[in-house]
Chains A and B, each alone.
Chain A
Amino acid sequence: MSAVETSTKFETKPRKLSRREFLVVGGAAGLTLGFAFEHGSRKAEAQMAGIAGPPANTQVNTWLNISSSGAITLTIGSSEMGQGSFSGLAQILSEDLMVNYNTIQTVQGVPATGAQQIGNSIGTYGSTVTWTNYWSLRQAGAAAREMLVQAAMNIIGDQNSANYTVSNGIITYTPTGTLISYGLVANAAALLPVPANPTLIPDSQFQFIGKTVNRVDIPAKVNGTAIYGLDIRLPNMVFAVIQHAPTFGSVLSGSVPATPPGMIAVVPTQVVAGTGRGTEQTGMVNAVAVVGPNTWDTWQAALNLKIDWTTPSNASSLNNANFVSEAQSALTTNTPYSSSGPNNPPTLYTVEGNLASANSAIASAAKQFSEQYNLPYVAHNQLEPLSCTVNYVPGVSCDVYVSTQVASSVLDLANQLTGLPLNQIRVHTTWLGGGLGRRIETDFVSQAIQVAMAVGKPVMLLWPRPQNFGRDQFRPVALVQVNAGLNSSGGIVGWACTNVSPSILAQRGYPVGASGDSQAYEGTSGLPYSRGSISTQWISHPSPIPVGFWRSVGMSVNTFAVESAIDELAALAGVDPYQYRLNMSTDPRWTGVLNAVANLCNYSSGPPSGQFFGMAVTMYANSYVAMVVALSLNSSNDYDGQPKLFTVNSVYIALDCYLAVNPGQIQTQLVGGMVHGFNAALYGRQSFVNGVPQYGNYPQNRVIRMDEMPQVFTTLIPNPEQSTFGTNLGGVGELGVPCIAPALANAYFRASGKRIRTLPFFPNAVMGGLNNPNI
C-alpha cells in the first residue's frame, strides 16, 4: 500500500480533454463518443475507493451515443442519490450538442473493463460530479455536433460551414432548406476524426445551462417505478438478513448455529480485506446471515437465532465517557509525528503555523480565549437500509445489484471474492435511497457476495434498520480546542486550534503523512481570516469504533468549532459577529457570501421581533457558503419531555459555486444539506456502552419532520469566471451541511446568552410514532 497524499482538498480542476482522449466507436450503433470523467476531488478518498485502486482518470467511463434513429443516450458511471447530477450532466451536454435537454436519455453505466461499450464507474462523493466534468461534457457535445455537421456537409457536398445551421438536433442546409437529422448522419459521423478544438456555444446563447429545468429521475419517483437496491427482484431469489455481533470487535464463538426450521441456511460472514475498519479486522467473523424465503420470516429467524459471540477484551473501554477522556488526555499526552513511524494514536501532526509562537502571541494579548467543542459519533442515516443482491453462477458470472456510490469498488470486490475475471462480473447500480457517504463502503456488499457463494441462488442481503444505525461507519467523535488572543480593539493576534479525532484513513490501514489526515482537520486550516500568529494541529484519536465519510466529512465537525469560536471572539471583542467576520476576511469570495447572506436576511434591519440571528461561513469543494439562522426561544418542553430550547424560524443560505448549472436544483441541494446538518446538530449521536451501540431505530434517532422545518431562503452569487473555457467551477452537494450547527449555536447564544459547545443540542430526544407523533 502506498502512502496517501492527504492535503489535497481543492486539487481537482475542471478538466479539459484533448481529442486523443475521446474514443470513437462507429458502425451500425451510430456515433459513440467515450470519454473519461474525473473522480472526486478528495484524492485520498479516491485512492481508498477501489481495493485495487480506482480506474485511472484517463479510462473511459462515460459514453455519448447518437443512434441512427436519432436517439441520444448519455451513459454515466457516477451514481444518482438524489443530488440531481444525472439531470445536470444531461443539461450541460444538451447545450453544445444543440439538442433539447428533454431528448437526452440518461443511463446508469455498468462498470467493466475491456473494450465494451459500457461506462466505467467513477466515485460519487466530494460534491464533484457536475462541476469537475462540466468542460468535458461541453467538449463532448461540441465535438459530436461538429462531427455530425461535417458528415452532413459531406453528403450535401458543400463544405462552406456558413451554409449550415443546427437547432434541436436538426441540421439545416440553408441554401436549399434541406433538413438533416442527427440520426441520419450518425453512422457517417462516426467515421470522421474528432475535431481538435470544437467550438463551444457562447454563454450569451445558452438555452439550458443556468436554467432551472425539470429533473430526469422525478417521474419514476412519484409512481413506485424507481428501482432502489432493495427493490431488485430476480427469479428464484432468496432473502438474507444480517445479524452482526452486538458488540464491536466480537467474533463468532464456536460453531455456526443450526439452520432454523423453514430457513435455507445460516451463513457466517467474515470481514473481507479492504472493508474492515477499527475493531473489525480482516478475517473476523463478525456477523451471520440467515437465508430464507422472504424478508420477514428470515428477519424473525435472525432475531430469534441463538448465536454465541466472543466479546473482545477492550469492550469495556468502548464507552462515550472514555472517548472524551481519551481525547482530553491526547491533547496533552501525545507523540509528535515521526517519518520513521509508527505514529500510533495519539500522534500530533502540525498542519499550519507554529504552536509556540501562537501561544506566545496569545499569552501577551489583551484578552485570552480558550474553549473546547465536543462532537459525538453520528450515523449516516440514509433512509433506504443497506442491501445488496448477488446472482453468482460459479465459474460463469457474478451480477451484483446495489445502490452504491462507488461501483468500481464493488467490481473489484466481486473479482477478489469470486476469482472471476472482471469481464464476467457486472455491477448494476440502482437509484440510491440516500447515500450520504455510507454507500462509499462495501462491507455489506462483501457479505452479500459471501452469502451468494454459499447458497448457490440469487440472494438479497438486507441490513435491518437497527443494524444501519448500530453498525454504521460513523462520523468521527471529535474534540476541538480553540485558544485565541485579542488585542485591545478586539482583533485576533494569536490563534491555536487543535482537533483530536480518529483518522478515517488510518483506520483502513493507510499510512498518514506528516501533514496528517486532512479529512480530520479540514475546516480548521486555510481559513481566510486574519488571525495574527496561528497554529493548526491534528491529534489522532485512538478509538477503534469504525469511522467513515459522512456528508461533508470533517467540514461539519470543524466548522461547528471554528465558526462558534469566531462568534465567541466577536462577543468577547464587543463587535457584531457579521462585522467581525468581514473585518478579518482575507478572501473576496468569503466576504462575498457573507455580504450576500446578510442582504438576504436583511441583517442590518435585524430579525423579526422575538427572533435572533446566528451566522456561519465556510468554503469547500471550490465553493463558498454562508448561512444565517433566525430562531426564537421557547419556555415549554417538547413532546418528548425534553427542553425545547428554541424554534428555528428561518434559515438563509448564500452560495458562490461560480456557475450555477441548474439553480433550482442547487437550491434544493443546499436545503437538503442543511437539513442533514440540522438533524445531526439537534439530535444526531450514537452512544456506546461496552462496545454496544445504543440507538437502533428512528425513535431514538430523531430527525426533523415537516413541523420542525424552518423556512429556507437561498441566493446564488453569479460569477463571471464561467465564460472562460477551462476555468473553475464549484461543488454543491455537501455545501449546505457544515454551517447549520454553528449558525444554530450562535443564534441560540444571541437569544439566551448561553453557549452550546457540545453536540447534539438534544442528546436525550426521542421521536414519536407516525399516527400519534405527540407521544
Chain B
Amino acid sequence: MANTYTLNVNGQNHNVTVNNPEMPLLWVIRDLIGLTGTKYGCAENTCGACTVLVNNVATRSCITEVESVVGDTIVTIEGLSPNSTHPAQLAWIKFQVPQCGYCQSGQIMSCAAQLLAGNHGANAAANMHNICICGTYPRILQAMDTL
C-alpha cells in the first residue's frame, strides 16, 4: 500500500511515496529525495554514519521510520550550512579530521546536535559514540575542543 508523505528536509518540503511506511528515513533521504551525504553503515543504530538532525536532535535515520518524522524539521549534512560554514565544518577542515571520510557526515551531525543542546568541548565529545574505522578520533576531539 503506497503512502505519500510530506517531509521537511533542509528547509524544503519533499513529497515522497513509499510502498512501506516502515521504510527508514535513511533510504527515503538517499534513494527517494536523492541526498547521498547521509550514509548507510550498519542499519542497526550502532555506527552513526546515518545521523541527521530531527528537530535539532541527533537521530539515527537508519532506524527512524519515515512515518514518524512527518511534520518534523529534518536537517542533513547538505543542509547544515551553505558553503560549509557551520562551526563544526570549519573546525573539521581546520583540524583536517577526515581520512576516508565515510563516517564524517554522521560525526559532524552528531557534533552539531551537541552544540545545539548546549554541550561544548569535552562535554560534547563524551556524548559522541559514532564509530570511525580510520581512527580520526583524536582530531575530532581537537576540533570539538574549539567549539
Contacts of A769 in B (CB 8 A): 44-46
Tell me the bound Cα distance from A212 to B82 in angstroms. 28
Tell me the bound Cα distance from A768 to B48 in angstroms. 12
Within 8 A of A (CB), among B69-94: 76-78, 80-81, 84, 89, 92-93
Contact string against B for A residues 207-223, beta-carbon threshold 8 Å, 1 for contact and 0 otherwise: 00000001101111111
Partner-contacting stretch, out of A142-150, A428-436, A583-591: A428-436
B131 touches A703 (CB 8 A): yes
Within 8 A of A (CB), among B83-109: 84, 89, 92-93, 96-105, 108
Within 8 A of B (CB), among A121-177: none
Tell me the bound Cα distance from A605 to B46 in angstroms. 41
Tell me the bound Cα distance from A673 to B99 in angstroms. 11
Within 8 A of A (CB), among B19-43: 19-20, 23-24, 27, 30-32, 34-43
A222 touches B93 (CB 8 A): yes
Partner-contacting stretch, out of A189-197, A295-303, A334-342, A522-530: A295-303
Q: How far is the CB of A729 from chain B (nearest CB, A)?
A: 21
A773 touches B129 (CB 8 A): yes
Known: A227-B36, A239-B31, A294-B27. Is A668-B42 also a contact (CB below 8 A)? no
B37 touches A697 (CB 8 A): no
Tell me the bound Cα distance from A770 to B108 in angstroms. 15
Known: A222-B98, A707-B126. Is A676-B133 also a contact (CB below 8 A)? yes
Tell me the bound Cα distance from A223 to B10 in angstroms. 13
B44 touches A297 (CB 8 A): no
Q: Does A555 contact B (CB under 8 A)?
A: no
A706 touches B98 (CB 8 A): no
Q: Does A82 contact B (CB under 8 A)?
A: yes
Tell me the bound Cα distance from A396 to B27 in angstroms. 32
Q: Does B138 contact A (CB under 8 A)?
A: yes
Closest residue to A711 on the B side, CB-wise? B138
Within 8 A of B (CB), among A293-322: 293-297, 300
A295 touches B37 (CB 8 A): no
Q: Does B5 contact A (CB under 8 A)?
A: no
Contacts of B132 in A (CB 8 A): 383, 675
Q: How far is the CB of B117 from chain A (nearest CB, A)?
A: 14
Closest residue to B31 on the A side, CB-wise? A294
Contacts of A668 in B (CB 8 A): 96, 99, 136, 139
B135 touches A705 (CB 8 A): no
Q: How far is the CB of B4 from chain A (nearest CB, A)?
A: 15
Q: Which of B46, B93, B108 contacts A698 (CB 8 A)?
A: B46
Tell me the bound Cα distance from A262 to B19 in angstroms. 9
Tell me the bound Cα distance from A230 to B31 in angstroms. 11
B135 touches A664 (CB 8 A): no
Q: Which of A83, A218, A709, A770 has most B Cβ within 10 Å?
A: A770
A433 touches B96 (CB 8 A): no
Q: Which of A225, A293, A675, A711 contacts B134 (CB 8 A)?
A: A675
B60 touches A223 (CB 8 A): no
Q: Which of A221, A382, A669, A706 contacts B133 (CB 8 A)?
A: A382
Within 8 A of B (CB), among A330-387: 381-385
Contacts of B9 in A (CB 8 A): none
Q: Which of B19, B46, B49 contacts A697 (CB 8 A)?
A: B46
Contacts of B104 in A (CB 8 A): 221-222
Contacts of A768 in B (CB 8 A): 46
Known: A217-B101, A671-B138, A770-B60. Is A434-B133 also a contact (CB below 8 A)? yes
A223 touches B77 (CB 8 A): yes
Q: Does B115 contact A (CB under 8 A)?
A: no
Contacts of B97 in A (CB 8 A): 218, 222
Q: How many residues of B contact A (CB 8 A)?
A: 61
Closest residue to B2 on the A side, CB-wise? A262
Known: A431-B101, A465-B43. Is A295-B141 also a contact (CB below 8 A)? no
A675 touches B133 (CB 8 A): yes
B60 touches A221 (CB 8 A): no
Known: A218-B93, A706-B140. Is A230-B40 also a contact (CB below 8 A)? yes
Contacts of A252 in B (CB 8 A): none
B135 touches A675 (CB 8 A): yes
Closest residue to A708 on the B side, CB-wise? B137
Q: Does B125 contact A (CB under 8 A)?
A: yes
Within 8 A of B (CB), among A695-738: 697-699, 703, 705-707, 709, 711-712
Tell me the bound Cα distance from A84 to B97 in angstroms. 12
Q: How far is the CB of B23 from chain A (nearest CB, A)?
A: 5
Within 8 A of B (CB), among A227-241: 227-228, 230-231, 233, 239
Tell me the bound Cα distance from A126 to B136 in angstroms. 21
B34 touches A384 (CB 8 A): no
Known: A221-B98, A664-B96, A698-B46. Is A82-B138 also a contact (CB below 8 A)? no
B135 touches A672 (CB 8 A): yes
Q: Does A224 contact B (CB under 8 A)?
A: yes
Q: Does B53 contact A (CB under 8 A)?
A: no
Tell me the bound Cα distance from A431 to B37 in angstroms. 13
Tell me the bound Cα distance from A767 to B138 in angstroms. 21
Q: Which of B20, B100, B105, B128 contacts A434 (CB 8 A)?
A: B100
Q: Which of B20, B84, B126 contacts A300 (CB 8 A)?
A: B20
Q: Does A464 contact B (CB under 8 A)?
A: yes
Contacts of B43 in A (CB 8 A): 464-465, 697
Closest residue to B76 on the A side, CB-wise? A224
Contacts of B105 in A (CB 8 A): 224
Q: Which of B20, B36, B89, B129 contacts A705 (CB 8 A)?
A: B129
B34 touches A233 (CB 8 A): yes
Q: Which of A82, A214, A383 has most B Cβ within 10 Å?
A: A383
Contacts of A239 in B (CB 8 A): 31
A770 touches B96 (CB 8 A): no
A225 touches B39 (CB 8 A): no
Q: Which of B92, B100, B140 contacts A383 (CB 8 A)?
A: B100
Q: Which of A226, A239, A431, A676 has most B Cβ within 10 Å?
A: A226
B100 touches A431 (CB 8 A): yes
Q: Which of A382, A432, A676, A767 contacts B46 (CB 8 A)?
A: A767
Q: Which of B19, B35, B40, B45 contacts A385 (CB 8 A)?
A: B40
Q: How far is the CB of B137 from chain A (nearest CB, A)?
A: 4
Contacts of A296 in B (CB 8 A): 20, 23-24, 27, 31
A residues bordering B, Cβ < 8 Å?
A: 81-84, 214-215, 217-228, 230-231, 233, 239, 262, 293-297, 300, 381-385, 431-436, 464-465, 664, 668-669, 671-676, 678-679, 697-699, 703, 705-707, 709, 711-712, 767-771, 773
User: What 10 A-B pairs are tightest by C-beta distance, nearest first?
Assistant: A224-B37, A675-B135, A82-B100, A433-B102, A221-B101, A82-B99, A231-B36, A224-B77, A296-B27, A698-B46
| A-B CB contact pairs (8 Å), 11 listed | A222-B98, A294-B27, A296-B20, A297-B19, A381-B133, A383-B39, A433-B39, A435-B100, A676-B135, A698-B41, A703-B131
B residues bordering A, Cβ < 8 Å?
A: 19-20, 23-24, 27, 30-32, 34-49, 60, 76-78, 80-81, 84, 89, 92-93, 96-105, 108, 125-126, 128-141
New A-B pairs, 12, CB < 8 Å, besides A82-B99, A296-B23? A218-B96, A218-B98, A221-B104, A222-B89, A224-B35, A297-B19, A431-B100, A669-B99, A675-B132, A699-B46, A706-B141, A769-B44
